[in-house]
Structure 1
């Protein structure tokens, strides 16, 4: 049990960082370009770039560069990131069942 707490805490630190959940949710549909995610998410380009770099360093997101002209860069979930699918889907289901529209509007 002593191993669980630090690992659980690390996992929660990663996925609870602001905007990470929405970025992961966005990538569940498949690879996306930066500009596509930037237009779909209510987050600044600078912050999106920061979060994607962090997720890439954690091995959750892959950054794929295609040598076309102009160069195309896409982000996708790695195997590690894809393994979060049931977690994200369960959080979505929980939110649908338990979070009211009034709570969202705050």
Structure 2
């Protein structure tokens, strides 16, 4: 089935909304390094509030991108579907790191 993200009711557009927010990208990148417990994620991801981390993890679990272990100590890991995001997320993170200064302090034309 083909999708067209320019159509208002396109499922792919909804998917971009799921994966396109800052904290989603950062959490996926962190979990790409290793499975982590909640506290480890909070330590690894500077500046994220407990509320935002909880919301982001819940959203990623509900979307099928992250799995939460059933038994304590609970940890989070990328699912097979979540792992398919690692390459594009890594490319996006790399691009952001390389171009942050240019975007935040643009040179006038």
Task: Place the TM-score, normalised by the shorter chain, in its bin.
Answer: 0.7 to 0.9
Question: 2:95 — aligned with what?
Answer: 94
| Shift, 1:40, TM fit | 1.9
Question: 2:12 — aligned with what?
Answer: 8
| Shift, 1:2, TM fit | 6.5
Answer yes or no: is 1:27 the counterpart of 2:31.
yes
1:39 corresponds to which of 15, 40, 43 = 43
Point out the structure with the larger strand share.
Answer: 1
**CA–CA distance in 1 between the matches of 2:84 and 2:65?**
9
Pair 1:65–1:11, CA change in 2 (3 A) = same
Name the SS for the 2:33 alignment partner.
Answer: coil
**CA–CA distance in 2 between the matches of 1:11 and 1:102?**
25
Answer yes or no: is 1:60 the counterpart of 2:65.
yes
Aligned-residue CA RMSD (Å): 2.2
| Shift, 1:12, TM fit | 1.4
Question: 1:75 — aligned with what?
Answer: 76
**CA–CA distance in 2 between the matches of 1:87 and 1:2?**
20
| Shift, 1:102, TM fit | 7.5
| Shift, 1:72, TM fit | 0.2
Normalised by the length of structure 2, the TM-score is 0.79
Name the SS for the 1:76 alignment partner.
Answer: strand
